Chains A and B, each alone.
Chain A
Amino acid sequence: MQNPYLPYPVRIDEIITETEDKSLKTFKFVFLNASDEDKFTYESGQFGELSIAGLGEIPIGIASSPVEKGFIKFTVFKTGKVTSYLHAMKEGDIMGVRGPLGHPFPWETLEGKNIVIIGGGFAFTTLRSSIISILDPANRSKFKDIHVIYGARAPGMLLYKEELAEWAQRDDINMNITVDGTDDPDWKYLTGFVPTITEQKAPPGNDDTYAIICGPPIMIKFTQPVLDNLGYSHDNIIMSLENRMKCGIGICGRCNIGKEFVCKDGPVFTLSQLNNMPKEY
């Protein structure tokens, strides 16, 4: 019997400060025991529990993609006890990771489909993982058109800026990068809130088109009616939720929304599923 609460020991290999306010950092972890990497076989959309001895554990979406080998990455917003401590840790420090946990985005369903990826603020981590997976030469032909709408408050608050710029140059992905506002004369992308840009740039909804949305509640609240108007069925709108978690495996009992646990039954749900669940998230 495997103890599902035991974290794999990892070393912090690299720390990248993502945003100008330094509130978001990406941590690249390497497994201390190489065989643990095989056990941590994941798909985009899943999450892990980052574990720091003496502080506790935090559930964080996996920002790396399964096509990236030799490490796993998590982008963490500094907000509570564990994340604040993590932000003060150094490259080379040892900690733990448990996972992968939860369900990924429904990749089998998404094969052969158009995908619109809509992200806001720092909820772009599992979306980054998804884009890397989709753009991998072995995978790109499995999907039709890919649209990305990603917004942040300001240019300095965007995650993965270099990758965004690279993707914007490609012709096999339709990038729409936006900020709420900026006075930067060199800003060469869009200005406007995510719902507005979605209205202008997202393809119309049909059976073959799926939207994946991750973002702050306010963004989701205003993007959903836009997708309704564009003709997206609620089965084709896929969201990823967060709730306070401890175990991450559906046992400790706190992250439930109705009878579903966000950790084990989610964090990915379709809007159709969410429509039949209490709004306890």
Chain B
Amino acid sequence: MKLIKIDQQNWNTGIEKAKSAYRVFGPVKEKNDYEFKVLGTNEMPDLNFRNTRLSPKSIIYPQSQVMFTYSIDETKDDCRIMKEVENVTSPMAIIGVRPCDALSFPIVRRNFDTPEYQDTYWIKAYEATTFVGLACNSACDTCFCTSAGTGPFGEKGLDVLIIKDGDDFYTKIITPKGEAFAESAGWGKKEQTDITAKIKELKTAAEASVSSTVSTDKLKNKTILDLYDAPFWEEEAFACINCGTCTYVCPTCWCFDVQDETHGKSGIRMRNWDSCMFPLFTHHASGHNPRNNKHERVRQRFMHKLKYYVDKYDSGIQCVGCGRCIRLCPVNIDIRKICDKMNNFDTESCKCEATSS
């Protein structure tokens, strides 16, 4: 790993240079929030943000994505035969990915890139992308990254980590992809400098600013059915309006729907982000719905992130502690509270209470 120091001017010229080799994405202020956008000529990533409204999930996995095209023109030979859309992704670089959001990509990869099936759309976009992270010097009230597998200076999922100190950019080159990006930004020949002590100081301060945590240590020891049958789900779901906001803003929510759309004689098969909060998500053609009730859908979301994923991959929870679902939930459902409830749920004591009452 290489550590270099870049000043404001070198940063600006570097980003500009990199645009000749990459489509460069970065945070841009839009109304009151920050969003990731493709940066045009002379447009710099605006790094004065706490975190973006949405994670950069959609750059790799668009909210709506064309998978195939088809014709329903009976006079054509390829009538009703699905044709693959061109799926060649040119190199992309995302500047300013927060460490929490960076961790979401390796988490989500376990779903899209499996030994049996490879989701070609996700994998090609992921492989074409260089993740240039931005360390958080101070956390938001809703951040709990340090207990969700990363931290404000976390490097998992990143190719480069930038640590901003005043006008200086301390740059950690983590992977060969990161190396290639630094090269194209003209930072490759920069001398390695000893800024380790300074970074450590900033990191300690940043970690200390993370004020909330979740406990996840006991999730694995309980059975799926113990947690599924726990008595708190209806109460926790009571206020939920199944709006789906939590799933759309979540960097690790990956579910999608597939729909065909025909205009005239031609059409597309596309996939769209979907949400386990919606009754139609699991509605059978027969009318039967295995998750017909609101609390069953809320339970699904939390069980998936905090138990099913934990059991399936043995790689921690399917949550990075970004806090978006907490900040944006219209009825203040808080994953930290539910995670702690699940983690601390005592099957035995509950059984006793139920029997005695």
Contacts and interface: CB of A to CB of B under 8 A. Distances in A.
A249 B81 contact: no
Contact of A254 (B114, B260, B276): B276
B72 A53 contact: yes
A80 B116 contact: no
A280 interface: yes
Given A1-B120, A53-B269, A280-B290, A244 B284 contact: yes
Interface in A71-96: 79-80, 83, 93-96
Interface in A1-49: 1-7, 9, 32
A10 B80 CA distance: 10
B117 A254 contact: no
Given A4-B117, A56-B258, A252-B257, A244 B282 contact: yes
Contact of B285 (A52, A83, A258): A83
A256 B304 contact: yes
B33 interface: no
Contacts of B257: 246, 252
B72 A251 contact: no
- Interface residue tally on A, bucketed by range: 35 or more
A101 to B, nearest CB: 10
Nearest to A216: B286
A259 to B, nearest CB: 4
B84 A243 contact: no
Given A95-B80, A252-B256, A79 B117 contact: no
B259 A54 contact: no
B284 A264 contact: no
A79 B281 contact: no
Query: Among B71, B258, B283, which residue has the most Cβ atoms of chain A within 10 A?
Result: B258
Contacts of B309: 259
Contacts of B271: 252
B311 A259 contact: yes
A136 B173 CA distance: 62
| Secondary structure type dominating chain B contacts | mixed
B308 A258 contact: yes
Given A53-B80, A53-B82, A281 B260 contact: no
A276 B224 contact: yes
Contacts of A205: none
Interface residues of B, number: 55
A9 B111 contact: no
Contacts of A55: 260
A259 B112 CA distance: 16
Contacts of A280: 282, 290-291, 296, 300
Contact of B116 (A52, A83, A249, A255): A249
A80 B285 contact: yes
A165 interface: no
A243 B282 contact: yes
Interface in A222-281: 242-244, 246-247, 249-259, 264, 276-281
A58 B284 CA distance: 11
Top 5 A-B pairs, shortest CB-CB distance: A253-B255, A80-B285, A259-B308, A53-B70, A280-B290
Given A53-B82, A54-B262, A83-B285, 12 more contacts: A4-B117, A6-B82, A54-B260, A56-B259, A244-B281, A250-B116, A250-B117, A251-B112, A253-B256, A253-B276, A276-B223, A276-B224
Interface of A: 1-7, 9, 32, 51-58, 79-80, 83, 93-96, 242-244, 246-247, 249-259, 264, 276-281
12 contacts: A4-B118, A6-B84, A52-B80, A53-B81, A54-B267, A58-B285, A95-B80, A251-B119, A253-B276, A259-B312, A264-B116, A279-B290
